[in-house]
Amino acid sequence: MDGATPPLNSLGFAKPPAETRVVVAMSGGVDSSVVAAMLAEEGYDVIGVTLQLYDHGAALAKKGACCAGIDIHDARRVAEDMGFPHYVLDYENIFQDAVIEEFAESYLSGATPVPCIRCNERVKFKDLLGTARDLGADCMATGHYIQRLPGDHGAALHMAADPTRDQSYFLFSTTQEQLDYLRFPLGHLKTKDETRALAHKYGLSVADKPDSQDICFVPDGNYAGVIEKLRPGAAEPGEIVHADGRVLGTHEGVIHYTIGQRRGLGIGGLSEPLYVVRLDVDAKQVIVGPKDMLATRVIPVREINWLGDEAFDSLSEWHLSVKVRSTRPPREAILRPLSATEAEVELMTPEEGVSPGQACVFYDPDGTRVFGGGWIWRGA
């Protein structure tokens, strides 16, 4: 019928794929490569973009890193094979200022940072998303395992269909405006094997490439070593002190320890297992104690990004589930707003190892929707 609105394409636009431009954020890994190949095969006007986030010359041999030189090469090869343009953008200075510097400062203050969240928030979904708009793209797609589903008030964020791959913890700070522009084509897949099967179907050279496990600028997992490079002299020695005041030993720097740590304390020969329960940066002390001292019930949270349909501070209490570590399941909790961006979170069951610098992410207790989250900012 003349004048009828064309059906929505798979990215949600009422026009043919060939008239829909999509920028794909390509890390060089399997997931984002499959997204780019899938959309190219469907006929979309695909532009691949890879971010150079740090000196890839120094990282060429570090295969586990997500944004090293080898990964830029892999992303470019996928684009060549699938026949769409690919650009590498130098975001080194932005990444240094927005992510790496804060990572170092957080560790030096006794916190346990999650730089991947800051990278999504301040680099990928801010500067890169702005670049996508500048390129005239209708949307930007990524290989994240999370779902964007229609809601009553615009797009809603939901956990991935595969709970073992779900990345919602790392994407809680995605704003509503960003969510309206983003697309996550892999979020509905049930297993990682499906993604690799698609990679083989498209003949991608990265089909069997292993997943990156570490933070991209710490490919060997040695956080303290990176911080010592960034802040020479940061690892000042001090005392390991029992919560009852006894000095049990010495350490080579607070940056080598995290809340909840048990191994590698160097204080053997004691009758009870001890854990790091607090880091006193000013006194250069690592405070240890029995496991029950790690139990936390009340958590102060700030910098809240709220994705609910009503204003966060419109209610005195929200009964939701929360995650305080990416590897732990959501726990039942009560959120009590203190302002539009701050809250007190009361866990119905105490959680161990809650650390400043980690995220506290909010979930629908009866479903898969993600209601945002905030940052844990001091020990309760």
Summarize pLDDT for 275-286 with one digit per residue, the tens: 999 999 999 999
What are the structure tokens assigned to 129, written together?
């998303």
Contacts of 364 (CB under 8 A, 6+ apart): 320, 321, 370, 371
Active site residue 67: no
Marked catalytic residue, from 116, 119, 139, 360: 119
What are the structure tokens assigned to 234, written together?
């940061």
Band (pLDDT 50/70/90 cuts) for residue 81 is very high
Of the CA atoms within 13 Å of residue 363, those in its CB half-sphere come to 25
Rounded Cα distance between 8 and 21, Å, is 14
- With beta carbons less than 8 A apart as the criterion, state whether 44 and 20 touch: yes
Q: Where are the alpha helices (DSSP H) in 135-191?
A: 176-181
Q: Give the 3-state secondary structure of residue 129.
A: helix
Rounded Cα distance between 322 and 350, Å, is 12
- With beta carbons less than 8 A apart as the criterion, state whether 166 and 160 touch: yes
Band (pLDDT 50/70/90 cuts) for residue 55 is low
Q: State how beta strands 21-25 and 45-52 pair.
A: parallel
5 pLDDT above the threshold of 80: no
261 pLDDT above the threshold of 80: yes
Inter-CA distances, 218 with 117, 224, 234, 235, 344, Å? 15, 10, 17, 17, 32
- Listed in order, the ranges of the chain carrying CATH 2.30.30.280 are 235-289
**CA-closest candidate to residue 42, choices 70, 16, 5:** 16
Band (pLDDT 50/70/90 cuts) for residue 107 is confident
What are the structure tokens assigned to 240, written together?
């390991």
CATH topology of domain 17-143+185-201: Rossmann fold (3.40.50)
Marked catalytic residue, from 66, 67, 139, 216: 216
Q: Residue 293, class by beta-carbon neighbours within 10 Å (0-12 exposed, 13-18 middle, 19+ buried)?
A: middle
The pLDDT tens digits of the residues spanning 125-168 come to 999 999 999 999 999 999 999 999 998 888 999 999 999 999 99
Considering Cα of 215, then 217, then 221, then 222, what sign does the dihedral take? negative
- Listed in order, the ranges of the chain carrying CATH 3.40.50.620 are 17-143+185-201
272 pLDDT above the threshold of 90: no
Rounded Cα distance between 134 and 272, Å, is 60
In CATH terms, 295-376 corresponds, of 2.40.30.10, 3.30.1490.190, 1.20.1250.20, 3.30.70.330, to: 2.40.30.10
- Count how many residues are written for the chain: 380
Q: Which helix (H) or strand (E) holds 69?
A: helix 69-82
Q: What share of the chain is helix, strand, coil (3-state, %, to 5)?
A: 25, 25, 45
358 pLDDT above the threshold of 80: yes
Band (pLDDT 50/70/90 cuts) for residue 3 is low
Q: Give the 3-state secondary structure of residue 91.
A: coil
Residue 373's region, left for phi above 0, alpha for psi from -120 to 50, else beta, is left
Band (pLDDT 50/70/90 cuts) for residue 218 is confident
The pLDDT tens digits of the residues spanning 282-327 come to 999 999 999 999 999 999 999 999 999 999 999 999 999 999 999 8
Report the mean per-residue pLDDT for the chain.
90
Of the CA atoms within 13 Å of residue 206, those in its CB half-sphere come to 30
Inter-CA distances, 137 with 20, 111, 285, Å? 7, 38, 51
**CA-closest candidate to residue 95, choices 50, 124, 53:** 53
- Give the least confident one: 23-27, 214-218, 360-364: 214-218
Active site residue 360: no
Q: Residue 38, class by beta-carbon neighbours within 10 Å (0-12 exposed, 13-18 middle, 19+ buried)?
A: buried
**For 235-289, which CATH class?**
mainly beta
- The percent of residues above 70 in pLDDT, for the chain, comes to 95
379 pLDDT above the threshold of 50: no
Q: DSSP letter for 6, please.
A: P
- Give the least confident one: 28-37, 58-67, 251-260, 358-367: 58-67
